[in-house]
A and B are shown apart, each in its own frame.
Chain A
Amino acid sequence: MSEHELSEDLLSAYLDDELDAGARADVEARLATSSEWQAILDEVRDTRDALRGLPAVEGSPEFWTRVMAGVALEDDAHQDGVVDLASERRRRRMPRWGLAVAGAAAAAVVVVGVVAVPQQDRVRPAVAALTDEHAARSSVGNDVISSLASIAVSTRLGR
Chain B
Amino acid sequence: MKPVDLKLGRLATIGRVALIAAVVGAALLVVGTEAMAGDDPAELLRKAREASATANVAGVVEVRWADGDEVFVERVGARSRGDAYVVGRGDHVAVGRGGVRYAADDGVATRWGPGDQADRPGPAAAWDLETDDPARVAGRAASVVTASDAAGRVRARFYVDRATHLLLRRDVFDPSGDLTRSVRFVRLSTGAAAPAVPQLPDARSDVAATDDTPDGFTAPGRLGEFRLLGRYEHPDGTLQLFYGDGLFSLSVFEQDGLVDWDAMPDGGHPGQVEGQRARTYSTAAGTVVVWGERGLVLTGVSDAPADTVRAVLPSVANDDRSTVDDVVDFVFGPFGWE
Contact = CB atoms under 8 A, between A and B. Distances in A.
B101 A157 contact: no
A130 B284 CA distance: 13
A47 interface: no
Contacts of B167: 143, 145-146
Nearest to B108: A159
Contacts of B285: 131-132, 134-135, 150-151, 155
Pick the 5 closest A-B CB pairs, nearest first: A152-B88, A123-B257, A150-B285, A124-B263, A122-B260
B48 to A, nearest CB: 6
Given A148-B85, A152-B76, 8 more contacts: A125-B299, A131-B283, A138-B249, A144-B80, A148-B88, A148-B94, A149-B61, A157-B267
B182 to A, nearest CB: 10
The prevalent SS among residues of A at the interface is: helix
Contact of A123 (B112, B120, B255): B255
A119 to B, nearest CB: 9
B92 A144 contact: no
Contacts of B284: 149-150, 153-155
B114 interface: yes
The prevalent SS among residues of B at the interface is: strand
Contacts of B255: 123, 125
Interface string B45-62: 000110011000100010
A145 B52 contact: yes
Interface of A: 120-125, 127-159
A33 B207 CA distance: 81
Contacts of B210: none
A155 B76 CA distance: 13
Nearest to B253: A130
B219 interface: no
B88 A143 contact: no
A152 B52 contact: no
Contacts of B305: none
A155 B94 CA distance: 13
B265 interface: yes
Nearest to B45: A143
B240 A132 contact: no
Interface string B137-171: 00000000000000000000000000000010010
Given A122-B260, A123-B260, A139-B96, A148 B101 contact: yes
Contacts of B88: 148-149, 151-153
Contacts of A130: 251, 253, 288, 299, 301
B96 A146 contact: no
14 contacts: A120-B257, A123-B255, A127-B281, A134-B242, A136-B103, A137-B115, A137-B230, A143-B52, A143-B170, A144-B53, A149-B88, A150-B283, A153-B88, A159-B106
Nearest to B112: A136
